[in-house]
Amino acid sequence: MSSFTLLVTSAPYSDQSAYSAYRFALAAVESTHLIKGIFFYQDGTLNGSELQLIPSDEFNLHQAWKQLSADHNIPLMVCVSAATKRGITNAQDAEDSDQIHHSLSPEFQSVGLGDLAILLADSDRLVQF
Cα dihedral 64, 88, 21, 107 sign: negative
pTM metric for this prediction: 0.90
Q: Per CATH, the architecture of 3-128 is what?
A: 3-Layer(aba) Sandwich (3.40)
Q: Which residues are catalytic?
A: 79
What are the tens digits of pLDDT across the range 20-45? 999 999 999 999 999 999 999 999 99
Reported as half-sphere exposure (CB side, CA atoms, 13 A), residue 44 has a value of 27
> How many CB atoms are located within 10 Å of the residue 82 CB?
18
Domain ranges of the chain: 3-128
d(CA 32, CA 1): 7
pLDDT tens profile 116-125:
999 999 999 9
